[in-house]
Amino acid sequence: MIGTIHPYQFDNPPEAGALGICPTNKWGEAQKLLHHLWVRKLLKDFKPDIVFDESHCALVGLGLEHQGFEFLRSTNYVPFDIPWVYMDVPVNPRTVEKLRNALFAEDMGYQFLMREQYWLQTISWIADAMGAQRIAVICGSLHVQRGWLEQQLSAFGTVETHNVLDQHWCNDKWQKNPHDQSIVDGWVEEHAKKNVRLGKTCMYCEAIKRTSYGTTMP
């Protein structure tokens, strides 16, 4: 099990969605790079048969879209010649809020127990179907700290855990430093080029070019 911080996993301009604040300055970008190297080494050393990932980047790495967050760009794992599965519940959190009549951020029963039960079923079903013996699971660090999923997986074999919060380079100071618009501009330019190649139109690119935190961009 690898416990991560999701903003390290992808590029997502703050204007383009509500998936959390992503590192948009040199401090955050440096940590994303260190996270990239950390995860790659763990997977290279472990040699899993399959990877189960909580994050949307498991889909984005295949060039797919999910929940309308079309800008997301994985920053860390590709290319890896390993089956990579998006294991989270395929329902928009806003839809879950309406069904459960509770804010997603406050609904601990859904955020942890119900989702982790779904992950466990997904992992068990797919791993059994393909006969996988070595399984890597990537999820938020809080799920690793909670320990429930690790305990359930230990019934099938030895579980080794790694938490990004234990890495000496991991800190949240990048959130307290000024935003660097040039970083987002670079993401937007690369994303626009990708869409040209794929013959797609990005709903966010023009909006991001026009405005940045309430100011007009050149």
Quick check: pTM over 0.85?
no
| More confident: 108 or 214 | 108
Q: What is the pLDDT of residue 6?
A: 84
Percentage of the chain exceeding pLDDT 70: 72
The domain limits of the chain are 2-177
What mean pLDDT is predicted for residues 168-191? 79
* pLDDT tens for each residue of 87-132: 998 887 788 889 999 988 888 888 899 999 999 999 999 999 999 9
Q: What one-character-per-residue DSSP string does 157-190 give?
A: S----EEGGGSTT--SGGGGSPP-HHHHHHHHHH
* pLDDT tens for each residue of 140-166: 999 999 999 999 999 999 999 999 999
CA distance 68 to 7: 17
